[in-house]
């Protein structure tokens, strides 16, 4: 069974990787992902120019149907991840470096640092962090999105993708795709968590997490329908040269299969990785292969983006 894919000339022998932010803040966590069976790549926690402690108090909670988080962008700072990248020599698994500046200037400065560095992997510009108090998600501001990409591509020549928030209106799929199609992007990664959900602990009649009065990003099973819609809606609208990483709601091999049917080239795993650890990738990979066997598929190309409508 052939589970390969390629983005911007990088070849992936497996199509699973972690969602940025999950199990990827430290070198130890990243090395565990690199060594895990079933991963074809790995991505670092979104970086800011300087280290950040992130939000205080309980900031992640598992839920019956997924998870809620308001981490607040805790990370070791860009130079830590560039240093990991400079010592990264695994030819089998390409490295993605995620950045999430709090301002356009920070994002451009980090892109300039990466451009000037020896980094030879792919860069993911996170436009969708929902958990920094007072900071709106850039991905919901179409003009700001266009502006940062315009400025970035005046100097950045390495493979660049964007991490998008979920959209909930077909007109917004049209608008964001029209913007993204104007740029030589390697890929889009969709979706980030469904921002600013709120859940209640029935034992204490309180919210589930401390930051921002309990409002946080939703992940896991409860966001699968939104992830499928965004992956498929974007796949239908984006230039074929812009690949798609599907993220959101993956708990089983069938969920991986569904994101591929919807158009994904690679599939990222967040909540299930947080809950099961890196062993989740081997389980998802074998379940995906079993699903493919049931359909007599030996290649992902036989069903990628082949979701059928009813009419
Ligand atoms: O709170 C976070 O650190 C966080 N949490 C998310 O669910 N998505 C993001 O992009 C980020 I940067």
Q: Decide if pLDDT at 311 tops 90.
A: no
For residue 126, the ligand 1 atom closest to its alpha carbon is: 10
Q: Is 129 a catalytic residue?
A: yes
Give residue 105's pLDDT: 98
For the beta carbon of residue 91, count every other beta carbon within 10 angstroms.
7
For residue 163, give the ligand 1 atom closest to its CA: 10
pLDDT of residue 56: 98
DSSP state at residue 221: G
Q: Mention every residue, 6+ apart, whose C-beta is less than 8 A from residue 239.
A: 181
Give me the pLDDT at residue 1, please: 86
| Residue in 129, 160, 262, 300 annotated catalytic | 129
d(CA 95, ligand 1 centre) in Å = 19
Q: What is the mean pLDDT of the chain?
A: 98
pLDDT of 270 > 90? The answer is: yes
Which residue out of 58, 75, 129 has the highest number of ligand 1 atoms within 8 Å of its CB and is therefore the one to mutate? 129
Taking the C-alpha atoms of residue 143 and residue 146, their distance in angstroms, rounded to an integer, is 5
Complex confidence, ipTM: 0.99
Q: What is the DSSP track for 143-188?
A: HHHHHHHHHHTTT--S-EEEE------HHHHHHHHHHHTTS--SEE
How many whole angstroms from 75 Cα to the centroid of ligand 1?
11
The mean pLDDT value for 250-278 works out to 98
Question: How remote is the CA of residue 74 from the centroid of ligand 1, in Å?
Answer: 9
| Pairwise CA distance, residues 28 & 268, whole Å | 19
Picking from 270, 215, 300, the residue whose alpha carbon sits closest to that of residue 18 is: 270
- Segment 54-95, tens digit of pLDDT: 999 999 999 999 999 999 999 999 999 999 999 999 999 999
User: Does residue 292 sit in helix, strand or coil?
Assistant: helix
Name the residue of 18, 53, 61, 69 whose CB sits within 8 Å of the most ligand 1 atoms, as the mutation to test its pocket.
69
Query: In ligand 1, which atom is closest to the CA atom of 195?
Result: 7
Give the domains, in start order, of the chain with CATH numbers. Answer: 5-61+73-195+221-302 (3.20.20.70)
The one-character DSSP state at 44 is P
- Two tokens at 285? 């990979």
Output the six-digit token pair for 274: 């947080």
Q: In this structure, what DSSP letter does residue 196 have?
A: E
- Expressed in angstroms and rounded, the spacing between residue 206 Cα and the centre of ligand 1 is 22
Parallel, antiparallel, or unpaired for β 122-126 and 243-247?
Answer: unpaired
Residues 282/226, Cβ–Cβ less than 8 Å = no
- Residue 244 above 90 pLDDT? yes
222 touches 254 (CB < 8 A): no
Confidence band for 202, pLDDT divided at 50, 70 and 90: very high
Return the SS3 of 228.
Answer: helix
Residue range 11-39, pLDDT digits in tens: 999 999 999 999 999 999 999 999 999 99
The model carries a pTM of 0.99
**Which pLDDT value is given to residue 173?**
98
């Amino acid at each position: 069974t052939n589970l390969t894919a390629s983005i911007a000339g990088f070849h992936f022998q497996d199509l699973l990787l972690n969602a940025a932010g999950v199990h990827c803040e430290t070198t130890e966590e990243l090395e565990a992902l690199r060594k895990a069976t079933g991963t074809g790549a790995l991505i670092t926690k979104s970086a800011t120019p300087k280290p950040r402690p992130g939000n205080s108090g309980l900031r992640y909670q598992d839920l019956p149907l997924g998870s809620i988080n308001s981490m607040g962008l805790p990370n070791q700072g860009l130079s830590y991840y560039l240093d990991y990248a400079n010592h990264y020599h695994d030819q089998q698994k390409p490295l993605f470096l995620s950045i999430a500046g709090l301002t356009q200037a920070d994002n451009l400065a980090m892109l300039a640092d990466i451009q000037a560095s020896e980094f030879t992997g792919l860069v993911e510009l996170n436009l969708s962090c929902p958990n920094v108090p007072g900071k709106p998600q850039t991905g919901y501001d179409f003009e700001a999105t266009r502006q940062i990409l315009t400025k970035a591509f005046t100097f950045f020549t390495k493979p660049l993708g964007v991490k998008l928030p979920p959209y909930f209106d077909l007109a917004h799929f049209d608008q964001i795709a029209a913007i993204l199609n104007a740029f030589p992007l390697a890929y889009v990664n969709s979706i980030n968590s469904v921002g600013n959900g709120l859940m209640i602990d029935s034992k204490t009649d309180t919210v589930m997490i401390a930051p921002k009065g309990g409002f946080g990003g939703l992940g896991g099973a409860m966001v699968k329908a939104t992830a499928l819609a965004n992956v498929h809606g974007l796949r239908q609208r984006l230039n074929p040269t812009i690949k798609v990483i599907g993220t959101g709601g993956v708990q089983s091999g069938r969920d991986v299969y569904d994101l591929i049917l919807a158009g994904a080239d690679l599939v990222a795993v967040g909540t299930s990785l947080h809950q099961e650890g890196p062993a989740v990738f081997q389980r998802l990979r074998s379940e995906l292969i079993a699903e493919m066997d049931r359909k007599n598929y030996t290649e992902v190309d036989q069903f990628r983006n082949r979701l059928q409508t009813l009419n």
